[in-house]
């Protein structure tokens, strides 16, 4: 990446992402402390819910969106070997999204938007929160447009050639995000904003939750896809080998995006507004969407095995030891996959209609998503940051061993945080509560786990500080040493010279998604317009 202006654009996005992340980590540690009740001076439901809402929004929307945008610009310019299309527009997207974040932060921090990151009505937030969230999404749509234009321009100039895998997946993610965000956009524009302004008196929470469910499942794959891109295009090369299969990777991205969309009702199994047949349909789709993850696990491990054997590893498992464990990308993928086994297992439990009744709305659910999002996914965001930083700043990473320490501590901290969370869920602890001190015998069993979580949170906070420190120290290093590294993409074992159009374009998949969405959400949404419902007035803290 020799274009300084693009590097500046990418760095600006990544810094917003990682600063949001650091602030959210501080809030996270406060939350486990407050909830445990060990320090009575901290007891405050209103501060707790303001904090947990800010933490969720920063992690799930700000860190992810800005990271994905910055990463996308990097992938587009490096894989297509083209300058960024319309830089002023990209900066406009950045500023619109950032203004949105600041606008939403004001009510969040002042306790006027304690609606959590899922903002389920009838809890209401100040309208500035919904407007801010809207601007953040509009800013990200600008990114989607730039990715699509660059993809199409390249295809036009390279008729019949396979689009580089990383760009194929990034464009797929941009399309996925456009489809994904439509649900929440309708909810915010037609329900939440008019209702929070008092233009309409009541809101139908059933319709709102259905629209949010449209967004809630695919959004998690929007966050995950950059991690999978790194799995496929960076890891094999960094490990010293080849990608097991380029076509398999494309197929995984397609199935991931297509089936992520029509399955959101697995968040509503226990809700009354949708009938059981629709929930079953979404349950079946949920099991289908686990398949591309299995394919990904298989392909990545096969690629690592190739690398391990090329490096002289022998025997059934000897190749694992000969992998370069001190390479941040390689260490990250190993830690990330280990967390995926358990996080994915939890997801499959959640998705199982009957077992969901046991864990829904318990501490198990935050356990699940901290493991698979804050663990599996974010570890790969770290890996990408460590890999990109020397390329973006033109300075060598200040310390590889500090980066390795940071990755290990994040893995350990997240394991110490999420294991108790799963157990507490099975012990019946509800989620979304500001205190766990009920003073009865049943909840006494929760105490040791709460203690462990505080400890896990502390390790994570230390790890997050170390991460930001390594990045800042690298970038602002005054030493004259420069780095000339360029991004390196993995080669597949079998070079891909031509591809069928369905593995190289999205026209077909857009149509498939449109049909699947019409089937899975059409009637469930339309029914609200035929039902005689009264709705709910706003309710706030
Ligand atoms: Fe989930 C709730 C189901 C994946 C995030 N999920 C959530 C929420 C979030 C979230 C944020 O069905 C909470 C929403 C809220 O606030 O209410 N989830 C799933 C399923 C999967 C899944 C089936 N979730 C994710 C990912 C997330 C995420 C990814 C973020 C990035 N989730 C649910 C359900 C709920 C839910 C219900 C609602 C719960 C409720 O009741 O509220 C699947 O995609 C998971 C597939 C993964 C696997 C694992 C395969 C393992 C592999 C590892 C191979 C490695 C090896 C080791 C062998 C099946 C591939 C190699 C070792 C070496 C040394 C190299
Ligand atoms: Cu989901």
Quote the CA–CA distance of 506 and 492 in Å, as a whole number.
22
Per residue in 383-440, pLDDT (tens digit) is: 999 999 999 999 999 999 999 999 999 999 999 999 999 999 999 999 999 988 776 7
Quote the CA–CA distance of 142 and 174 in Å, as a whole number.
10
CATH number at residue 93: 1.20.210.10
Q: Is 217 a catalytic residue?
A: yes
Query: Is ligand 1 within 6 A of the CB of residue 284?
Result: no
Per residue in 60-101, pLDDT (tens digit) is: 999 999 999 999 999 999 999 999 999 999 999 999 999 999
Query: Is ligand 1 within 6 A of the CB of residue 339?
Result: no
Residue 540 forms part of a structural domain: no
Mean pLDDT, all residues of the chain: 95
Residue 406 forms part of a structural domain: yes
Per residue in 326-350, pLDDT (tens digit) is: 999 999 999 999 999 999 999 999 9
Query: Is ligand 1 within 6 A of the CB of residue 84?
Result: no
**What's the confidence (pLDDT) of residue 438?**
75
Res 460 pLDDT > 80: yes
Q: Is 231 a catalytic residue?
A: no
In this structure, the residue with its CA closest to atom 16 of ligand 1 is: 118
Report the 3 state secondary structure along 201-263. Answer: CCECHHHHHHHHHHHHHHHHHHHHHHHHHHHHHHHHHHHCCCECCHHHHHHHHHHHHHHHHHH
Quote the CA–CA distance of 412 and 422 in Å, as a whole number.
16
Mean pLDDT of 287-301: 94
Q: Which ligand is nearest to the CA of 346?
A: 1
Residue 537 forms part of a structural domain: no
Q: Is 360 a catalytic residue?
A: no
Q: Angle of helix 4-36 relative to helix 87-109, nearest 10 degrees?
A: 20
Q: Which of 217, 250, 282, 360 is catalytic?
A: 217
Res 541 pLDDT > 60: no
**What's the confidence (pLDDT) of residue 37?**
86
Res 508 pLDDT > 80: yes
Q: Which ligand is nearest to the CA of 285?
A: 1
| Cβ(262)–Cβ(517) below 8 Å | yes
Residue % of the chain over a pLDDT of 70: 99
**What's the confidence (pLDDT) of residue 439?**
66
In this structure, the residue with its CA closest to atom 10 of ligand 1 is: 369
Q: Which of 18, 71, 94, 221 is catalytic?
A: 221
**What's the confidence (pLDDT) of residue 210?**
97
Res 55 pLDDT > 90: yes
348 contacts: CB under 8 Å, gap ≥ 6: 287, 290
Grade residue 214 by pLDDT with cuts at 50, 70 and 90. very high
Per residue in 246-287, pLDDT (tens digit) is: 999 999 999 999 999 999 999 999 999 999 999 999 999 999
Quote the CA–CA distance of 417 and 169 in Å, as a whole number.
32
Grade residue 447 by pLDDT with cuts at 50, 70 and 90. confident
Quote the CA–CA distance of 207 and 32 in Å, as a whole number.
32
Residue 539 forms part of a structural domain: no
Grade residue 191 by pLDDT with cuts at 50, 70 and 90. very high
Under DSSP, the state recorded for 264 is G
Q: Is 221 a catalytic residue?
A: yes
| Cβ(336)–Cβ(368) below 8 Å | no
Quote the CA–CA distance of 481 and 491 in Å, as a whole number.
30
Query: Is ligand 1 within 6 A of the CB of residue 286?
Result: yes
- 503: CA distance to ligand 2 center in Å? 26
Quote the CA–CA distance of 228 and 204 in Å, as a whole number.
37
Query: Is ligand 1 within 6 A of the CB of residue 297?
Result: yes
Residue % of the chain over a pLDDT of 90: 90
C-alpha closest to that of 199 among 149, 114, 130, 245: 130
Per residue in 220-230, pLDDT (tens digit) is: 999 999 999 99
Which of 214, 368, 433 should be mutated for ligand 1, with most atoms under 8 A from CB? Answer: 368
- 264: CA distance to ligand 2 center in Å? 6
Token output for 268 = 């509503």
- 425: CA distance to ligand 2 center in Å? 18
Q: Angle of helix 507-530 relative to helix 165-186, nearest 10 degrees?
A: 10
Query: Is ligand 1 within 6 A of the CB of residue 344?
Result: yes
Which ligand 1 atom is the nearest neighbour of the CA of 224? 31
Q: Is 55 a catalytic residue?
A: no
- 270: CA distance to ligand 1 center in Å? 19
For residue 35, the enclosing domain spans: 4-529
Res 103 pLDDT > 70: yes
Which ligand 1 atom is the nearest neighbour of the CA of 352? 12
Q: What is the count of structural domains for the chain?
A: 1
Report the 3 state secondary structure along 32-74. Answer: HHHHHCCCHHHCCHHHHHHHHHHHHHHHHHHHHHHHHHHHHHH
- 3 state DSSP class of 360: coil
Residue 538 forms part of a structural domain: no
Which ligand 1 atom is the nearest neighbour of the CA of 297? 60
**What's the confidence (pLDDT) of residue 383?**
98
Q: Which ligand is nearest to the CA of 303?
A: 1
Query: Is ligand 1 within 6 A of the CB of residue 137?
Result: no
156 contacts: CB under 8 Å, gap ≥ 6: none
Residue 535 forms part of a structural domain: no
Token output for 312 = 């002289």
- 3 state DSSP class of 452: helix
């Amino acid at each position: 990446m020799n274009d300084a202006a693009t590097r500046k654009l990418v760095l600006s996005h990544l810094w917003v992402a990682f600063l949001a992340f650091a602030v959210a980590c501080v809030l996270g540690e406060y939350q486990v402390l407050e909830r445990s009740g060990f320090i009575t001076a901290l007891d405050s439901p209103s501060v707790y819910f303001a904090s947990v809402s800010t933490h969720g929004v920063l992690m799930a929307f700000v860190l992810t969106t800005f990271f994905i945008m910055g990463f996308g610009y990097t992938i587009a310019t490096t894989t297509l070997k083209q300058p960024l299309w319309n830089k002023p527009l990209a900066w406009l997207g950045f500023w619109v999204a950032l203004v949105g974040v600041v606008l939403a932060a004001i009510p969040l921090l002042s306790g006027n938007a304690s609606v959590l990151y899922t903002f389920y009505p009838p809890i209401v937030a100040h309208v500035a929160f919904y407007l801010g969230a809207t601007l953040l999404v509009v800013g990200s749509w600008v990114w989607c447009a730039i990715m699509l234009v660059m993809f199409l321009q390249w295809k036009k100039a390279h008729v019949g050639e396979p689009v580089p895998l990383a760009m194929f997946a990034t464009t797929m993610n941009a399309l996925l995000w456009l489809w994904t965000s439509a649900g929440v956009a309708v909810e915010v524009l037609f329900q939440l904003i008019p209702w929070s302004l008092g233009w309409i008196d009541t809101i139908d929470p059933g319709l709102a939750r259905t629209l949010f469910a449209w967004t809630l499942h695919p959004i998690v794959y929007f966050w995950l896809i950059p991690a999978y891109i790194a799995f496929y295009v960076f890891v094999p090369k960094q490990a010293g080998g080849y990608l097991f299969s380029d076509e398999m990777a494309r197929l995984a991205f397609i199935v991931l995006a297509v089936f992520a969309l029509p399955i959101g009702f697995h968040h509503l199994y226990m809700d009354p507004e949708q009938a059981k047949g629709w929930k079953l349909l979404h349950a079946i789709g949920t099991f289908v969407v686990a398949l591309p993850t299995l394919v990904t696990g298989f392909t990545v491990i096969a690629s690592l095995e190739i690398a391990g054997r090329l490096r002289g590893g022998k025997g059934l498992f000897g190749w694992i030891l000969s992998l370069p464990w001190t390479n941040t990308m390689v260490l990250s993928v190993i830690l990330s996959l280990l967390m995926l086994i358990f996080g994915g297992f939890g997801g499959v439990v959640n998705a199982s209609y009957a077992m969901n009744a046991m864990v829904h709305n318990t501490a198990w659910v935050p356990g699940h998503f901290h493991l698979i999002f804050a663990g599996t996914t974010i570890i790969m965001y770290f890996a990408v940051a460590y890999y990109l930083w020397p390329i973006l700043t033109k300075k060598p990473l200040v310390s590889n061993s500090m980066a390795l320490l940071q990755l290990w501590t994040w893995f350990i901290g997240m394991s110490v945080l999420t294991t108790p969370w799963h157990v507490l869920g099975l012990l019946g602890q509800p989620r979304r509560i500001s205190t766990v001190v009920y003073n009865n015998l049943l909840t006494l069993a929760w105490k040791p786990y709460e203690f462990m979580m505080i400890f896990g949170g502390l390790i994570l906070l230390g790890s997050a500080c170390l991460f930001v420190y390594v990045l800042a120290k690298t970038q602002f290093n005054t030493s004259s040493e420069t780095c000339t590294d360029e991004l390196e993409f993995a080669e597949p074992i079998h070079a891909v010279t031509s591809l069928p159009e369905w593995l190289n374009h999205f026209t077909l998949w857009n149509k498939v998604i449109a049909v699947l969405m019409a089937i899975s959400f059409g009637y469930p949404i339309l029914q609200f317009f035929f039902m005689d419902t009264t709705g709910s007035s706003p309710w706030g803290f």
